[in-house]
Amino acid sequence: MTLFKQIVIVLSIFQTIIFGGVMWFNFNSSNEYIKQQAYTDALHTANSLGLSISSVASFDDVSTTETMINSVFDSGYYEKILLEDMNKKLLVVKEQRVLLADVPQWFIDYVKLSVPVATSQIMLGWTPYGILSVQINSGHAYRQLWTIFKEVLSVFVVVSIVGFFILQLLIGLILKPLVRVKEQAEAILENYFIFQHDIPFTKELKNVVFAMNSMVKKVKEIFEKEADAVQKYHELLYQDTVTKMYNRRYFNIKLQEYLLSEEKNAQGALILISLNNFEGLKSKLGYQQSEAFIKEMASFINASIEPNIEYVSAKLSDTDFAILAPATAQESFVSLCEAINKSAKELTNRFGVDEKEYFINIGYANYYAKSTPKELFSKADFALTTSKARGAFSINCFVEPKGDTQVLLGKEAWAQELHSAIEQKRFKLAYQNVVNINDFSDEFHSEIFVRLEDYSGHLHNAGYFMPIVMELKMGSQMDRYVIVQTIEATLSKIFTCKGVCINLGKEIFMQSNDWAWLEDTIARFKKTGEQTLYFEVNGSTISTETLERFSKFLKNFGYGLGLDNFSVNDENLLLLQKINPSYVKIQASYLLDLFGGENDLDSPRRSLSIITDSMDIKVIASNVEDATQKEKLQKMGIKYIQGSFVGQPKIIG
C-alpha cells in the first residue's frame, strides 16, 4: 500500500472519529435538552391543570375533575395523566399508546428516551386533595430527536466527503515530491537520470529530494565515466590515430562476424583500395599536406558508405583501405567503386598532384556464407594486384573459377521462389540455445533461425537468401512468417523451451500496419501463458525512438528486447542508456580481443561490467567456437554463451 493511501486512511479514520464524536455529543445534548423540555412542559401542565382542578374538585364527586383532565388529555400531546388521592388511590387514569409512523423502528429501539413525569399536589383550601402526574407524549420527543439526527448525520456525511477530498488534495500536494522521488528511483532502474528542480517546502521532503538529486548525479557520473572509459579504450584499440577510421584489427573481427552471420551480412564483397606511391606523395607535399591528403581520402571513403549502416570501412596500412560491403546486387559494388574512384581523382586535382603518378587501384571479391577470411583476402588481393597491373584508377573484380560460384537467380526468379517458399512453408525454423557458461543444461533462451528448403530437399541458411529478401523489400513479410510459425510451434508443443528469441529487421517497424500487427500478436500470445518471448534487433539499423517504444511495450508483458552484434561505441552506449535492453550479444572474438586483458584491475571490461550490471543487462558471447574461447570467457566473468561449441542449430519439428 502506498504512503499516500496509508496517510489518507489514517487521517480519514481520525476525521471519522472526531466528527463521529462531535455528532454523538451533539445528539446526546439534544436528547438531554428534549428530556428537559418535555419535563418542563409536563410540569407547566401539571401546575396549571392542578390549579384548575383545585377550584372545582370535591371529595365526593370526581366527575368534574375527570372532565377537565379529559379535555386536556384529548389534545394528544400527552402520553399519561394520573390523579390519585393522598392514599395513592387512583381517581382518574388517562393513558394512550405511543404510535409513530414517521420514525423508523430501529431508531426507537436503539435510542432509549425516558420522558420524565411531572407531578403537582392539588389542595382544597388548606387540605391536600391529591397528586396529579403528567407525562408528555414520547412520540413527539422521538420525532424531534429523529429530525435532529437526520440533520446532524447529513452535515456529518457532507463534511466527511468534502473533508476527504480536501484531505486527498492537500496530502497529494504535500507528497507530490515523493511521487517525483519514486519516478526518479524507477528512472534510475531504467538508467534515466532525472533531477528534481521543484524543491518542496516541507523540511523532511526537501532533504529527501536533495539526497535523491545527489544520488542521481553520482550515478549518472559513474555511468558516464565508465562508458567514456570503455569508449576511449575501444578507440585506442580499433581506430587509426590519423584518420579515425577503424584499423585492420577491428576489420578482421567484423569480417569474421559477417562470415559467421545467419543474416544478410553473410553475403557481400570485400573491397580493397590502394594508394600508389605514397612515399613520393609525402616528398612532394610534405608531412602535413600528405597527412591531410590521407585524411580526406578516408573521409570520402566513409562518406561513400554512409547510407549503408552495415558497411564497414577501415585503414589497413598507410596506403591501403578496405570496405566490407554486405549486399546482393553486383551493380552496387561497381557503383561504389566508381564513386570512390571519382572522389580520388578530384582529390588529386585539388592537391595539385599528377593523377598519372599518384592514383588508387581497387580490387574486390565476392564472399558467401561459407567463405573464410584468409580465402577472401587472397581473392581480393589477387583482384587488387590485377587492377594495379591495368594502370591508374582501374577497378577489378575477382572472377570465381568455373564451378565455384554460388548459383544465382535473377530478381524475378528469386521473388517467385521466395513467395512460393512462404506459401508452401518451405522456410523451416531452426533454433540454437543460449546457455549458462557453467551449466549447458541451464538455457536462457532459444534463438530462432530460418532455413530455406529447395525442391531437392537441401536446406540453405539465411545468408543464402536474406540479402535478396532485403533487396526485394520482403523483410517484414519474412519476419511475420517467422513469428507466426514460431508461435504455432510453441502452442502446439512441437517446440518447448524456457524462452524464445525472434530476430526482427527494421522493415516491420516502418509501416504502421506491420507495427500494429506485431503488437497485437504479442498481446495475444501473452494471453496463452506460454514461453517468455525475446525479440532481437540490430540497434544500428533502427531509430532509438522506435526501440524505446518497442522496449517499453515488451516490458509491459514481461518480455524482453535484445541487441545483436553489439559493439562498443558512442551510439551503442547511448542506446543502452535509452532502452535498457534485457541483454546484448557480443561476438566472442570481439569480446575477447577488446576485454580479454589478464589484469582485472586494468582491464576495461570492469567498466563494461559496471555499466551492464548496474542496468541488469545480460552479456551474451555469441559465435563461441571452441573450448579455449569458452574458458577465456569464463575467466572474464561472462555468464551466457552461444555458438557451435554449445551446439549447431537444430531444425524444429
pLDDT tens digits for range 321-370: 999 988 766 778 888 999 999 999 999 999 888 888 889 999 999 887 66
Count Cβ atoms within 10 A of the Cβ of residue 333 and give its class: 0-12 exposed, 13-18 middle, 19 or more buried: buried
For residues 98 and 79, the answer to whether their CB atoms sit within 8 Å is yes
Query: What pLDDT, on the 0 to 100 scale, is given for residue 2?
Result: 63
Q: Which three cell numbers stand for residue 291?
A: 597527412
* CA separation for the pair 506, 475 (Å, rounded): 8
* CA 227 from centroid of its chain's CA atoms: 23
* CA 627 from centroid of its chain's CA atoms: 38
Tell me the average pLDDT across 145-167: 80
Taking alpha carbons only, the member of 175, 163, 172 closest to residue 22 is 163
Average pLDDT of the residues of the chain? 82
Domain ranges in the chain?
3-162, 238-397, 411-651
Q: Which one of 3.20.20.140, 3.20.20.450, 3.10.310.30, 3.10.20.30 gives the CATH number of domain 411-651?
A: 3.20.20.450
Query: What pLDDT, on the 0 to 100 scale, is given for residue 601?
Result: 44
pLDDT digits (tens, 9 = 90+) for 536-569: 998 878 888 999 899 989 988 889 999 998 888 7
Q: Which fold has domain 238-397?
A: Alpha-Beta Plaits (3.30.70)
Taking alpha carbons only, the member of 407, 409, 419, 296 closest to residue 360 is 296
263 φψ region: left (φ > 0), alpha (ψ -120 to 50), beta (else): beta
Predicted model pTM: 0.69
Do strands 395-397 and 427-436 pair parallel, antiparallel, or not at all (unpaired)? unpaired
* CA 630 from centroid of its chain's CA atoms: 33
pLDDT digits (tens, 9 = 90+) for 19-68: 777 767 766 776 677 777 777 877 887 788 777 777 776 776 777 777 88
Q: How confident is the model at residue 3 (pLDDT cuts 50, 70, 90)?
A: low
Taking the CA atoms of 560, 565, 569 and 570 in sequence, report the sign of the dihedral they define.
Answer: negative
For residues 251 and 224, the answer to whether their CB atoms sit within 8 Å is no
Q: Which three cell numbers stand for residue 242?
A: 590519423
Q: At what angle do helices 203-238 and 570-579 cross, to 10 degrees?
A: 150
* CA separation for the pair 210, 197 (Å, rounded): 10
pLDDT digits (tens, 9 = 90+) for 244-287: 899 999 999 888 888 877 666 677 889 999 999 888 888 888 88
